[in-house]
A and B are shown apart, each in its own frame.
Chain A
Amino acid sequence: MSAILKSRSATLALSSRSWTRCSSLRAMSTANSSTQPETSASSLATTSEVSHNTHFKVTLKRSGISLGDKVKGTLLALGFHRRFQTVYHRHTPEAAGMILKVKELVEVENVPEHMVRTPEEQRRERKAVRGYKVVGNRRESLLNV
């Protein structure tokens, strides 16, 4: 099991190194998690789910107002309805093409599968925790006698 993971991490490292030709200077990457597979795979040898990035986490930072129907259509296809909305897309050439079409408006991060959140989950995470706990109320205590 650990041998498979170690070989997978080796192939990941090899593929990433061969891909970075002159773009090794691109230090301004938002994808800090993209370097995780190389370190986490070697350390978490027992977990079956390696933190291998599978999704784009895309956030709309600038609107598409007055940029034309094509750009607006691309934003809609990505699932954006308002600024600062976050959507998750699997790593596909279609998603990559759409993101690059609106690259000036958007912020992208590569995340693993377990970090993907549905809109309901995102809403739940945004909610503030109550500073108190409801232990009971008078009506309930009367009903229960």
Chain B
Amino acid sequence: MFGAFRPTGTNLGGLLWKTPWKLSVTRKANARARLKKVDAVIEAVRASGVQCESLNRALELPKEHEMPAKDKYTIFSATTKGYRKGIHKVPKWTRMTLRTNPKGF
């Protein structure tokens, strides 16, 4: 009833903090576009011919078209039922690489 994170209801001038459980179609499309952009960056570095350890690690990451939808829009969560939560719940998820999850989850 009181505090910063109030639920819905008559809140005159109060804050409403509601995050949808899953991503909308638009958000998913934007997420896919961002993954493709990162793929393009890795591809440009690879095409330059430079050899370094971080490039080897980056090339091991799955590309956007190789990733299952589950990995694109959800992420492993040890504390959630089903061990998966929406990737949008991760802070700064639009600017981080979150492509792989523990095997089997």
Contact = CB atoms under 8 A, between A and B. Distances in A.
Interface of A: 15-16, 19, 23, 25-26, 28-31, 34, 53, 56, 61-62, 66-67, 91-93, 95-97, 99-101, 103-110
A100 B45 contact: yes
Interface residues of B, number: 31
Given A30-B40, A93-B52, A99 B45 contact: yes
Interface in B50-81: 50-55, 58-59, 63-65
Chain B interface secondary structure, helix, strand, loop or mixed? helix
B42 interface: yes
Contacts of B44: 29-31, 34, 56, 108-110
Cβ-closest 5 pairs across A and B: A93-B52, A108-B44, A34-B47, A96-B50, A26-B43
Given A66-B92, A67-B92, A103 B48 contact: no
